[in-house]
A = this chain, B = another copy of it.
Amino acid sequence: MAAGGSRRASVSFIHADRAIDPRGGEHIGSESPVGLLVDLDAFGSMSFARRRVKRGEAVYHAGDRFSAIYAVSSGFFKVGNVDAAGREQVMGFFMRAELFGLDGIGAGRYDGTAAALEDSEIVVLPFALMEAMAQEDAAMQRQLHALLAREIARGHGVMMLLGSMRAEERLAAFFLNLSRRFVCRGYSPSEFHLRMTRQEIGSYLGLKLETVSRLFSLFREKGLIEVRQKHVSIVDIAGLEGVLRDHGREA
């Protein structure tokens, strides 16, 4: 809880990387939710506090007073909400150079809980400061707005996923989205470790953990992926894209 490590990080500034969201072209299966990008280490015009977060630890809880948004420096996070009837749902997963905590701006309180899925580090971006900076610099203001708007668009992607895809399609979209995001970070598009449990994946995709598990097996049998615990290799990306495409249109 105590702001742990308090070294300083130079952060050029928020920067909506177009490479991550190739909307113009094919964005099938992009599942849109790509996360918000921050240019973490470029020319340092400002320096912000960093904070270490241990696996399982929360960055903030639903209802906490909103004060800052967070950029993932390293590690992996999930943001989840709980409604009044006790229903829980993961609203998103966030990896390096993505932002979370924006949901707090509206009401002055975070409406979800953000927790680290592994030992991680974040950059704390006090929102008041961000607003002040945006006030002075029109370009920065535009970036800030683009940032918020992208989170809106990400939401639309998730709605699409939850509202109009069947289980197989959802998982395929999920993998393709992860793949794309890893590529943007210079990692392999086809090999990665899932930091979240089947249960958390299911929560995000609106499915039960057993269903997710079965789908993993199904995809494995179809030769689309290989799975060793949390390690996933995508064997046939085109095949995954096919899963998405086939059901939507007439073959």
Contact = CB atoms under 8 A, between A and B. Distances in A.
Given A131-B145, A135-B135, A89 B152 contact: no
A115 B25 CA distance: 24
In this complex, the interface size class of chain A, counting residues with CB under 8 Å from chain B, is 35 or more
A186 interface: no
A239 B85 CA distance: 15
Nearest to A102: B152
A159 B89 contact: yes
Given A105-B145, A163-B203, A85 B153 contact: no
A223 interface: no
**Copies of this chain, tallied across the complex:** 2
A89 B158 contact: no
A91 interface: yes
A207 to B, nearest CB: 9
A91 B27 contact: no
Contacts of A236: none
Given A134-B141, A203-B163, A206-B164, A156 B155 contact: yes
8 contacts: A23-B109, A28-B84, A81-B156, A87-B165, A89-B159, A103-B149, A105-B152, A159-B159
Interface of A: 16, 21, 23, 26-29, 81, 83-89, 91, 102-107, 109, 111-112, 131, 134-135, 138, 141-142, 144-153, 155-156, 158-160, 162-165, 203-206, 244-245, 247-249
